[in-house]
Structure 1
Amino acid sequence: MNQTIIAQYEHHINLSDAQIKRFSKKANLFSILRLVAFGCFLTVIYWSVKLDSFVLFALGAIVIGATFRWLIARQSWFDKQKKYYEDFKAVNQNELDSIKQFSNIYPNGEVFVNEKHYYTSDLDIFGNASLFQLINRAATANGRQKLADWLNAPASKQVVLRRQEAVIELKDKNSWKLDMQARLLFANKQHVNELSQLFKYLHKPLHLPGEAWLSKYVIVGPALFIAAFIASFYLPYANIVAISIAILNFIITGVTAKHTNQTDLIAGKIGNTLKSYADVFNSIEKEQWHAEYNSALANKVKATNGNSTSSIIKQLSNLINNLNARLNMVVGFFLNIVLVWNVRYVIAIEKWKRANHENIEVAFDVVADYEALLGLASLHINNPDWAMPQIADGEGFTLTARTIAHPLINERLRVANSYELNNTRKIDIITGSNMAGKSTFLRTLGINTVLALAGAPVCAQSMQVSVVQLFSYMRIKDSLNESTSTFKAELDRLQMLLKAVAEQPNIFFLVDEMLRGTNSVDKYLGSKAVIERLISQQGVGLVATHDLQLAELEKQYTDYVRNFYFDIQVVNGEMLFDYKMKPGECKTFNASLLLEQIGIFSKPV
């Protein structure tokens, strides 16, 4: 366990606690000062009435109103800082819990579980206690989808190398990484469709009737009203003009209320959310990047035509929040009869949409990419002894690893093995006793290959791997809904495997105990036939089995089949497992011993 990084997280937590207390005190102080300001305003009203002084009231209202507004702004800023450090503490605590307990405050990816996928179900890629749960640091639905896509399919060598470089750079920017996670944590509880609904809204024009002349009127109308209102103090009948304009403004507001509500239906709910995203984009824009992948992402959101993404998003946030001022009935009434407020900001939002909607989805996709990278970087930071794999070339298949272990097994319990397949085509048959480690080893190779081809570090001292498409045959289940027996499910999976090997040149398969749903004779004959078909198709992979007869294939196909095994040692009737893979075929099996231990089987005397 890496004590250095644990100490860093603990330091960040202690720092956050101190800052949370500090900003809580400041926010509470300014809350009291707001009450004092309100009391001062009541005092001004009292003395204004007593002295019959409009000047005193006007001056007092202006001064106290400005002070009150400043106090609200400062308290809001203190509350925002407090919330930031609460989130910063949460993400640091989450890293500690991930290291010590494999827990995670981010979703575990159960929505991506697909029993019919080539490998994700068998290799525990998604769901509870999965690789996704270990890796995921994406608060947004887009970020989680991006990470899931990376784990669902291998990337090209070029993409893998670019991601590796990006992850290595992020490893050295852990403070920025944690800051980004804290700024995005608000989205972890966000409705998954919120951004997609926003994107649809941005691409859908409002078609406000008379927008051309209304755009001019929202400037001219309020100016005429204010002029008429001031003139009413000096000229007779000017007040009639002011009232007439106010009535016209009210009518315009009512006629366009449908379009205002359409705007508010989607946009009105995410003004503050967009402001939070603006801070996220600003953090990306300000950071200095050297890795090609990170630089390319950042360049997509940096200033173009003088406007950065953060400033553009903040503009939309401000427009939406200004529109929301109408929700206070009293304030909204006066804003609309004087400034035609609703129409003014509906038009402003529409103009913003037309100018910027094409770039927004690209910008949010950048955030999703960074979130996926944050997850891979977390592995690199929290497990500094893990290796960044080499991506091999060559006509054959390469999967070579030294002291490779399963990343989802606690480091105090997992046992490492080594394996070598170097630019060749082989089928390795692994025999061994029950619980000796065959299945775990297959999953170890598989899950680390998924990590490697996503651009992540692997749980090994070193690893070289070709860009392969994994295919697993492990947890075969029946299905009552589909009226499918276990044996039928196995046949379907085998058919899928043979078709994949025939059609895709880079399939690397992991098969654990074929044809469990039939009798021992058919099981052996069927398994042997499948392996021979795979050999004829030049298939590459590993087959784990209890059927020792299958090891005989090495004699028939000496250039293609290799035998390995996991065994046990029996000492004084006790089974000892070392979980180490060895060359050759297994000679020791333990089923009778296990049955004897539970009282089902006894040795003849």
Structure 2
Amino acid sequence: MDQAIITDYNQRALAAQNEFTRYEKLANRYSLLRLVVFGLIVLGIYFAVIYNNIFIVLGAFIALGFVFAWLVAKQSGFEKQKQYYKNLNSVTENEVAGISTRANLYDNGNGFNNDKHFYTADLDIFGNLSLFQMLNRAATFAGCSRLAAWLSKPAAKDVILKHQHAVQEIGTKNSWKLDLQARLLFAIKEPVNHLEQLITYLHFPLNLKGEAWLSKYAKIAPWLLGAAIILSWYYYPAKMLAVLIGLANMSIIFSRAAYIQKTDLIAGKIGHVLGNYAGVFEKIEQESWQADCNINLALVIKNDGTSMRIKELSILINKLNYHLNIYVGFFLNLFLLWDIRQIIAIENWKRNNRQNLENAFNVIAEFEALISISGLHINNPNWAFPGIVDDGGYTLVAQQLAHPLINTNQAVKNDYELRDTYKIDIITGSNMAGKSTFLRTIGINTVLALCGAPVCADSMQVSVITMVSYMRIKDSLNESTSTFKAELDRLQMLLAAVEGEEKIFFLIDEMLRGTNSVDKYLGSKAVIEQIISKKGVGMVATHDLQIAQLEQKYPDYIRNFYFDIQVLDGEMLFDYKIKNGECKTFNASMLLKRIGIDIEA
């Protein structure tokens, strides 16, 4: 654990907390001032009624209305800043928690779990205490899905290298990374499909009845009413004209209430969301990039002016929300036909700007996945970016490789070498000696390597391979599947993959556990020999020493490795280090004896 990294995060979190406190005080102060100004407006109306003088209302509304609007804008800005620094504090403290305890406020990816996938269930890719939980910094469902897709299938070599360069560059921009996370944190609380709803809304026309003449009338309505009010000062009967114009304006608003409500129902809920996304797009556009992947992603939205266009729509929707204050809404609609103006402006925006927004939101998803991986790089600076090789055979070479989900102080590092060849490694050893953990260490680091992430090793080289695992075989009452049937299904999938996929690397942990020892050995031997005939490559962990004897029959294809124990004063000591050859020491009898079962007796 790098204490300097934690210290840096703690300092950032404290600075964000101080800014949050400052803006909270400012927001509260301006909220009080708004209340005072609103009271003065009501007082102006009261005196206008007492003295029967409409100009008192007009003067109070104009003078104090501008002050009130200014205070609303200022307080709104302070509230946004307050929320931003609160989010910044949260995402920064989350990094400290992630390093210290593996805790994470982001989704753990449990929804992406699939027991029938080639490897994700066996290698702890998704779910509680998983690789996804460790990595994920995506607030949007689209971002989570993108990261899950990267972890579920190896990318092509050129894509992996592009991801590596992008991640390394973002790793030098930790302030930018945390800033973007803070701006996107709101999306965690949004419905999973909120972006789909937004896109659907943008493509769905309102078809406002009489839109053409309403658009023209809304422009002249305030001048007509204003002129009638001024004229009434000199010519008393003109008061009736002013009243009639006001009633006409309000009747137009009421007659189009269904359209206003329809727009308000959908758009009103996404106004602040769009404003938040506009800020995200702007930060991506404004950043200076060097890595090709980051440059190309930023150009998608920069060339289209996405941030400005989204901000325009957000402003229009927020203006429509002014009517949520019944008094403000009444005066705005009376003089300006405010709601009509805004829904027409929103529809015009939709007609002119709805194209290509799907691509823009895909950019955010891509950056969230890259940010997630870059966090792993920033928080673990000693981890290595692997070399991606494209030899004719299989390459998987690693020095000082450890499991990324095991605490650094407890993880045991091992070396492994498979260089441009075709081999099956048989790994024997006693219970709890480390066989299964080693298989998972190889698998999970390979998954990281082939999505563009750093690996928990001093160095690594790997071919673009697809992992297939046979480890946690479970029965299923719902599917009427016994353990043995589940094992057969998994074996069938593995053999089909070895034959059909280009480069499969399999991980088998104790094959055919659901049957008797004779059938287990004969079946396991037959499976391995069939895999050899298909030129399959991978690892088999087993307690069965007879399987290790296959090396004598296939000396050019089978290699033997083992994990052992040492017994000192009746205590079993594990070093969890892989060694060449077959295991000679087993511990099942000692473990049984500890719980009161004496095999010899």
Residues 24-72 of structure 1: per-residue CA shift (max 9 Å, x gap): 3333333444455456667878998999988777656544443333333
- For 1:200, the aligned partner's letter is T
Check if 1:87 corresponds to 2:87.
Answer: yes
Q: 2:345 corresponds to which residue? A: 348
Instruction: List per-residue Cα deviations over 1:364-402 (Å, max 9, x = no partner).
Output: 111111111111011000001100111111111111110
**CA–CA distance in structure 1, aligned partners of residues 393 and 25 of structure 2:** 66
Asked if residue 519 in structure 1 is aligned to residue 516 in structure 2, the reply is yes
Q: After superposition, what is the alpha-carbon deviation per residue over 1:73-129, rounded to whole angstroms, capped at 9, x for unaligned?
A: 333322322222221111111101100101001110111111111110100000000
1:67-78 pair list within 5 angstroms: 67-78=67-78
Shift in CA distance, 254/230, structure 1 to aligned 2, threshold 3 Å: same
Q: Tell me the distance in 2 between the aligned counterparts of 1:371 and 1:544.
A: 37
The equivalent residue for 1:447 is 444
- Cα separation, partners in 2 of 1:63 and 1:331, compared to 1, 3 Å: closer
In structure 1, what residue type is equivalent to 2:346?
I
What is the alpha-carbon distance in structure 2 between the residues aligned to residue 409 and residue 546 of structure 1? 24
d(CA) in 1 for partners of 2:480, 2:568: 46
**Which moved further from structure 2: 432-441 or 195-204?**
195-204
Aligned residue for 2:16? Answer: 16
Identify the residue that residue 325 of structure 2 maps to in structure 1.
328
C-alpha displacement of 1:602 = 4.5
In structure 2, how many angstroms separate the alpha carbons of the residues matched to 1:367 and 1:429? Answer: 44
Change (3 A) 1:267 1:53: closer
Shifted more, 288-297 versus 31-40: the winner is 31-40
**Equivalence map 1:567-586=2 (5 Å):** 567-586=564-583
DSSP 3-state at the match of 1:200 = helix
Alignment correspondent of 1:475:
472
Q: Which residue of 2 aligns with 1:462?
A: 459
- Describe the shift of the 1:55–1:22 C-alpha distance in structure 2 as closer, same or farther (beyond 3 A): same
The separation in 1 between residues aligned to 2:53 and 2:334, in whole angstroms, is 28
| Separation (CA, whole Å) in 2 of partners of 1:33 and 1:351 | 36
Alignment partners' CA distance in 1, 2:340 and 2:55: 34
**Matched residues in 2 for 1:267 and 1:65: separation?**
26
- Which of 507, 515, 520 is 1:510 aligned to? 507
Hey, what's the Cα distance between the residues in 1 that align with 2:45 and 2:191? 46
Identical aligned residues as a percent: 59
Distance 1:100 1:566, change over 3 A: same
Moved more, 23-32 or 556-565: 23-32
Deviations 1:541-576 (A, max 9, x none): 111111111111111111111111111111122111
- Answering whether residue 391 of structure 2 is matched by residue 406 of structure 1, we say no
Unaligned runs of 5+ in 1: none
Aligned counterpart, 1:99: 99
The CA deviation at 1:206 is 2.6
**Residue equivalent to 2:272:** 272
Please tell me the residue identity of whatever aligns with 2:479. Answer: E
Alignment partner of 1:589 is 2:586: yes
1:123 corresponding residue in structure 2: 123
Question: For 2:562, which of 561, 565, 576 is the aligned residue?
Answer: 565
Query: Are 1:312 and 2:309 counterparts?
Result: yes
Q: What letter corresponds to residue 517 of structure 1 in structure 2?
A: G
SS at match of 1:421: strand
Counterpart code for 2:500:
E
Aligned residues: 601
- Kindly state the Cα deviation for residue 361 of structure 1 after the two structures are TM-superposed: 1.4
Q: Give the aligned partner of residue 382 of structure 2.
A: 385
Q: Please state whether the residue corresponding to 2:119 is helix, strand or coil.
A: coil
Q: C-alpha offsets along residues 328-348 of structure 1, whole Å, 9 cap, x if unaligned? A: 344434434443333322222
Whether 1:555 and 2:548 are equivalent positions in the alignment is no
SS at match of 1:266: helix
How far apart, CA to CA, are the structure 2 residues paired with 1:341 and 1:574? 82
Structure 1: distance between partners of 2:111 and 2:350:
32
Question: What residue in structure 1 maps to residue 175 of structure 2?
Answer: 175
Quick one: which amino acid aligns to residue 196 of structure 2? S
Q: CA 1:296/1:446 → structure 2, altered by over 3 Å: closer, same or farther? A: same
1:450: Cα distance to partner? 0.7
Q: CA, structure 1 residues 61+209, in 2 after alignment: closer, same or farther (shift >3 Å)? A: closer
* Higher mean displacement: 262-271 or 151-160: 262-271
1:437-463 Cα distance to aligned partner (Å, 9 max, x none): 111011001101111111110000001
Confirm or deny that 1:66 pairs with 2:34: no
Matched, 1:540 2:537: yes
Amino acid at match of 1:491: L
1:490 counterpart = 2:481: no
1:490-516: per-residue Cα shift (whole Å, max 9, x none)? 000100111111111211111111111
Find the aligned partners of 2:203 and 2:62 in 1 and give their Cα distance. Answer: 43
Using a 3 Å threshold, how does the CA distance of structure 1 residues 354 and 246 change in structure 2: closer, same or farther? same
Q: Give the letter for the 2:414 counterpart.
A: N
Alignment CA distance shift 1:297-1:68 (3 Å): same
- In structure 2, the residue matched to 1:218 is 218
What is the CA-CA distance between 1:222 and the residue it aligns to? 4.9
The CA deviation at 1:164 is 0.4
Cross-structure match for 1:427 = 424
What residue number does 2:365 align with? 368
Alpha-carbon distance in structure 1 between the residues aligned to 2:49 and 2:230: 24
Question: 1: CA distance between counterparts of 2:62 and 2:253?
Answer: 29
CA distance in 2, matches of 1:76, 1:176: 24
Q: For 2:263 and 2:72, how far apart are their aligned partners in 1?
A: 28
Q: Measure how far apart 1:282 and its partner are.
A: 1.2
- Cα deviation, residue 168, structure 1: 0.5
Once residues 181 and 261 of structure 2 are traced to their aligned partners in structure 1, the CA distance between those partners, rounded to angstroms, is 34
Q: Match of 2:172, as an amino acid?
A: D
Task: Rate the CA distance shift 1:99–1:492 in 2: closer, same or farther, 3 A.
Answer: same
Alignment partners' CA distance in 2, 1:445 and 1:152: 16
Q: Given the superposition, is the C-alpha separation of residues 380 and 537 from structure 1 closer, same or farther in structure 2, using an over 3 Å criterion? A: same
Query: What is the distance in 2 between the residues matched to 1:62 and 1:197?
Result: 39
Structure 1 residues 79 and 244, CA gap change in structure 2 (3 angstroms): closer
- Offset at residue 240 of structure 1 (A): 5.6
Q: Pick closer, same or farther for the CA change 1:261–1:10 going to 2, 3 Å.
A: same
1:204 is matched with 204
Are residue 292 (structure 1) and residue 289 (structure 2) matched? no
- The verdict on how the C-alpha distance between 1:113 and 1:485 changes in structure 2, with shifts beyond 3 A counting, is same
C-alpha distance in 1, partners of 2:425/2:116? 24
SS in 2 for 1:358: coil
Amino acid at match of 1:457: P
SS class of match (1:387) = coil
Q: Which residue of 2 aligns with 1:189?
A: 189
Q: Aligned pair 1:134/2:131, yes or no?
A: no
Q: What runs of 5+ residues in structure 2 fail to find an aligned partner?
A: none
**What residue identity is the alignment partner of 2:259?**
H
CA distance in 2, matches of 1:250, 1:58: 18
Which range moves more in the overlay, 28-37 or 187-196?
28-37
State the TM-score, normalized to the length of structure 1: 0.94
Report the RMSD for the aligned CA atoms in angstroms.
2.4
Amino acid at match of 2:67: T
State the SS of the aligned residue for 1:542: strand
How many angstroms apart in 1 are the aligned matches of 2:190 and 2:223?
41
